[in-house]
Amino acid sequence: MKRKKILLKLFVFFSFFICILFTFIYFYIRLTPKLDLKKTNNIILYDKNNKVFFKGNGSKEWITLNLVDQDLIDATISIEDKRFYSHNGFDYIRIIKSMYNNIVNGNIVEGASTISQQYARNLYLTFERNWSRKIKEAWLALKLEINYSKDEILEGYLNTINYGNGVMGIQNAARYYFNKSAENLSLAESSMLAGIPGSPQEYSPINNEKSAKARQKVILDSMVKNGYITEEESNEAYNTKLTYYGKKDTLNLSTLMYYKDAVLSELENLNVIPSDYLDSNGIKIYTNLDLDAQTSLENAVNSDITNNDEIQVSSVMVENKSGKVIALTGGRNYEKSQYNRVTYSKRQVGSTMKPFLYYAALENGFTASSTFLSEPTTFSLENNQTYSPANFGNIYPNYPIPLILAVAYSDNIYAIKTHLFLGEDAIINVAKKAGINTKLPKNVSLPLGTTELNIMEFTNAYSTIANEGKKNDLYLIRKVEGEDGKVIYKHKDKSKQVLDSNYTFILSSLLNNCYDNTLADYNSPTCLNIKPKLTKTYAIKTGTTDTDSWTVGYNKDYTLSVWVGYDNNKDLVSKDMKYAKNIWADTIETYSRGREDSWYDKPKDVVSVIVNPLTGKLATNSSSKKKLMYYLKGTQPTEFDNNNEDNEKDKNSS
């Protein structure tokens, strides 16, 4: 009995506390300024040509709820939130039901967001998934419910929701898909449009009419079930042949919103917009987006990866001389995964780390002809530790090879010997100068890319090499203006020469050999299989770990990096390792079509010499292979090649 009294008192106290808390919250929200729903977070993004590619919560045409076709309203409520007019912003029945279904299925198969919550989500800048974001959403949903009527909330929702193909808001959607106002929609048209926000890319009838029709049937069935229409009306609407006015164009890119999210992430990091500014003001963001580059990238991803829905991609393309990020993709399809791997992910980079080691080597007296013995090797380290790296495919010449071949073949033994010879600080210092901000560990395997790095900072470092040693901080935003045209922020060039242009030229020339078929011998250059696709001059490096595949390459104008792998770190199979190289080649070649070949002029302190690339020695008439290579004046080889005589001796004696 005593226990029951205690529990009763606790219940009364808890109930009283909840009432006081909600009363406080209610009056606090009522006393704070109301959001202007037509202006809140009204963001417009422009590409490099000052053309709009994204309109945020501000709609081109805002239509009042009383002018929206009633069938569209009924269809939306029926499928999205059938208790919209009776709950307080949170549908507790639906929450409990969805939790049960998700537990039973062992996976998230059903959501419970109300129209108020979805509208609150639309009013925020990013789609990151974390508790802080969810709390903000819940708070804003509560503010909406307290400060606005249900009709006002529904009106705002319909005017800001994504209807696919870059179309925001029901009035814009009605005009885009059916060339009419939202007040003149038929039941067939309304039920089609109401289904699109569930997955704008998949359910847009212009993108996928089969999926859109299936979704329309679900909408119509829900309207019948909820008493909005009869079975006969449903069948008639479903069987009505619809004609679509809108046409696919360059803005119909499933990866474009990754660029948008990266822009908004950069805006947040710039910290130039007051936290409450967007509550009542709109902004215009002028970006570096090049739609030709973005289209080339997306088309390459879609054409090169087929029959594998699980594998993912991230990629960044940069203009070297300025640091402008002109294209990127943080995944394969934004509608299926909003996680932006460009801004948030870090992955092992594999052998694409080696160029920073070899720049350090060149700076410390190495040349294209410097040799190390490449054979199976166990390295003795401190504390009685050993390290036994292996070449890809366990292929070794078992004789000394020059840096020329070490780069072209991505020889791991040569890399580790160079690393230990120079000291573990050498590669770290170069990488940091070039733009890698992640703290790199001092360990023997660092040149083989065992450390995880973000693709944006990694591309930045490569772009420094590509820009002849001049470092730019990569950026997406050129300028930010208020609605009144007043400039709030403008990017300032902070470029700085951090690497020697003589050595970057020599390194770039070495990386140019990675698709040179004349260098095939006991092994083949790592990018030889994409050589048929390449019509221009590039420096390229690949990198592969068990779980990550990279291709990073550049010419004088642009740097492009591509990563391919699985979000769950599943091991790659052999066919997975071809994707990154092909995406890289197809993107850069499509984008470069019609442009002149862009390569570097030889610096005055660099000399060119014809050598045998298998030995690094000066070529003679009898040399089996000949290659023009570059050296800092005074470091070029002086010993003549003996037609591989020395190597033949080594082969015979091994």
Catalytically active residues are 80, 351
* Residue-wise burial string across 96-114, b where 16 or more C-beta atoms lie within 10 A, e elsewhere: eebeeeeeeeeeeeeebbb
Assess contact for 553 and 592: CB atoms under 8 A: no
Phi, psi for 427 (deg, rounded to 5): -65, -35
DSSP 565: E
Written as six digits, the tokens of 165 are 């193909």
Whole-number Å distance between alpha carbons of 90 and 43: 27
Residues in the chain: 654
Whole-number Å distance between alpha carbons of 111 and 407: 51
Give the HSE-up count for residue 447: Cα atoms under 13 Å, Cβ half-sphere.
Answer: 31
What DSSP assignment string belongs to 382-428? GGG-EE----GGG---SEEEEHHHHHHHT-HHHHHHHHHHH-THHHH
Give the HSE-up count for residue 568: Cα atoms under 13 Å, Cβ half-sphere.
Answer: 3
Whole-number Å distance between alpha carbons of 103 and 440: 41
Whole-number Å distance between alpha carbons of 589 and 300: 10
What's the Rg (C-alpha) of the chain? 30
Give the HSE-up count for residue 433: Cα atoms under 13 Å, Cβ half-sphere.
Answer: 18
- Label residue 291 exposed, middle or buried (CB < 10 Å: 0-12, 13-18, 19+): buried
DSSP 277: G
Residues 6+ away with beta carbon under 8 Å from 601: none
Q: Is 550 helix (H, G, I), strand (E, B) or coil?
A: strand
DSSP 275: T
* Residue-wise burial string across 119-149, b where 16 or more C-beta atoms lie within 10 A, e elsewhere: bbbbbbbbebeeeeeeeebeebbbbbbbbbe
Whole-number Å distance between alpha carbons of 339 and 504: 35
Written as six digits, the tokens of 91 are 């549908």
Whole-number Å distance between alpha carbons of 421 and 425: 11
- Cross-strand partners of 319: 324, 558
Closest of 325, 304, 223 to residue 558, by C-alpha: 325
Indicate the pairing of strand 627-632 with strand 371-374.
unpaired
Written as six digits, the tokens of 59 are 């709609």
Assess contact for 315 and 513: CB atoms under 8 A: no
Whole-number Å distance between alpha carbons of 462 and 494: 17
In the structure, how many helices (H) and strands (E) does the chain have?
A: 22, 21
Whole-number Å distance between alpha carbons of 538 and 532: 13
